[in-house]
Structure 1
């Protein structure tokens, strides 16, 4: 049994399968999920788990070389992303939805604030 890191077996397994350049969409409870990518749905109740909690856990385990979010994102979630990603790519929300169709993995949170979505691009550790 794992003693640290992401304990959810479905999410831990999906992360282990990712490679350089793969996309991971971390999304709020309302984001339309495209057909195709593997989905790990962590949403339990509105706000649980939060976007910030899930993003923090993922960033502790993934190498991320880039991130794309909706230009419409405001408030603490935007500050969170700008704090993590100096070169955060901002696109219209409709474009983010189009780009999410190419993700390899979708991680759905319980976040209930609008536009709390980010498409991460996996990097390599060497």
Structure 2
């Protein structure tokens, strides 16, 4: 048994399969999940686990070279907007409809229990060397 890091076996295994350029959508409980990507659904109850907890857990294990979020987050969810700005310098903002389109190309979707709007980010994996 792992003693540190992400303990969820489905998520840990999915992360190990990612490569450079692969997309990972971290989304709130209400984001429509497109057909195609592998999905790890962590949602337990409204707000559990939070978007922030999941993003921080993933950042501890992934190399991320870029991130894209919905521009609507700025007005609708200042807390998520602040978190995204703090974690992802150079964050790319697109209309929410465009983010939904882009999410169809993700290799992995991680659904959180977040119950605040526009708490979604599409991560682009980098390399550690």
Q: Which category describes the TM-score, using the shorter chain as reference length?
A: over 0.9
Check if 1:104 corresponds to 2:126. Answer: no
**1:1-126 equivalences in 2 (<5 Å):** 1-73=1-73, 74-126=77-129
Number of aligned positions between the proteins: 126
CA shift for structure 1 position 75:
1.1
| TM-align CA RMSD | 0.4
Structure 2 runs not aligned, ≥5 long: none
Which runs of at least 4 in structure 1 moved beyond 6 Å after TM superposition? none
- State the alpha-carbon separation in 2 of the partners of residues 77 and 14 from structure 1: 25
TM-score (norm 2): 0.97
CA shift for structure 1 position 86:
1.1
- State the alpha-carbon separation in 1 of the partners of residues 39 and 28 from structure 2: 13
Can you list the C-alpha shifts for 1:19-68, whole angstroms capped at 9, x where unaligned?
Answer: 00000000000000000000000000000000000000000000000000
TM-score (norm 1): 0.99
- State the alpha-carbon separation in 2 of the partners of residues 32 and 122 from structure 1: 22
